[in-house]
Chain A
């Protein structure tokens, strides 16, 4: 009996009624250039004072090299580096990843789970930054208020290193 109770309790804890989540779509555009390298990219959430509320993704070269597995060029993600990237001890589970080719990427972040964690109610900005070797650098920002009572759709359009960025906030 006690065992059954435990199991029920565990189930209840593991599957909250409906976990609030962020569904993010990031487009890395194709570049018509002779020398192409996949961009480094970082995704994070800033509080209104621009401090980092959550590090969501860092895509950089994972290849081992004498210069440190691609970490040498991380400061090129200038804003991310300054706002908190340099505080991280890389690689971070669930955050670090390989660079991505051109395409559309869907990412889901669940409230209460790594890497999002629990966002306190307040105003935030989701930031996507991309920097490409011998290419350009671009930052796209999506301000939002958390939590939401109904699904909210936000989007922004990059112009060079990033394409469409859209964010669905689900209660």
Chain B
């Protein structure tokens, strides 16, 4: 199979699997979430895996990586490379404040049958018209929108980069995002197209799942204002995820939109 196609199918499986338990998890893990000094750098791993945070399945594609600097402008990743199981890149934190690192994927998935064979396609709205051959049967098109994020602060945190785009599921930290401490409740707001996402389940799983026998998933429910609170039982990197679907696909061929949001958050000891 063509390498690029395989990549997109793996990606599709990781980000579009609906509300049911997700087999593969996509994530980014920065080498530090709080840095200081004259010229701090972080290095970031990005992968799709079963175990958190061990790259054991597929590298996360970096084409859709967007780094927002503390002044709200985008910053460029450096030394980016994609291996078999893991992508890596560096970020030079030349500004003081909070950086948002995001893998933003929006697109369309199609499944159809052609001459008795099942086919899959991924692309954008402009390509859709010509992508599906005449004679295709059982065509099912779904829109998808996903964000995989993590955050790094150089010096004192600020909120400029945290400003939501208003598209898809997004997380707005209420009580800090690189400031999390074990045992202290942390509050966030989940937004859907910029408006509070009420009644969504949010789950959080600490990393190092390989070294324990249970996932130890924590869950929270967003309130009417989209807010939810998590209290971290111990320090570590946590994978925080929420998913939903609606009918705002944006193209007439698709009736459904699948949305997911993932953040990797670091919790430090008190």
Contact = CB atoms under 8 A, between A and B. Distances in A.
Contacts of B156: 86-87
B40 to A, nearest CB: 7
A66 B34 CA distance: 19
B40 A82 contact: no
B152 to A, nearest CB: 11
- A interface: dominant SS: helix
Contacts, number: 40
A166 interface: no
Interface string B10-40: 0000000000000000000000101111111
A106 B40 CA distance: 34
Interface size for chain A: under 10, 10 to 19, 20 to 34, or 35 or more residues? 10 to 19
B268 interface: yes
Nearest to B155: A86
A82 B179 contact: yes
B132 interface: no
B155 to A, nearest CB: 5
Contacts of A71: 36-38
B135 interface: no
B181 A72 contact: no
A79 interface: yes
A79 B270 contact: yes
Contacts of A68: 36-39
Given A72-B37, A75-B36, A78-B269, 12 more contacts: A66-B38, A67-B38, A68-B37, A68-B38, A68-B39, A71-B36, A71-B37, A73-B37, A81-B34, A81-B36, A86-B34, A87-B156
Interface of A: 66-69, 71-75, 78-79, 81-82, 86-87
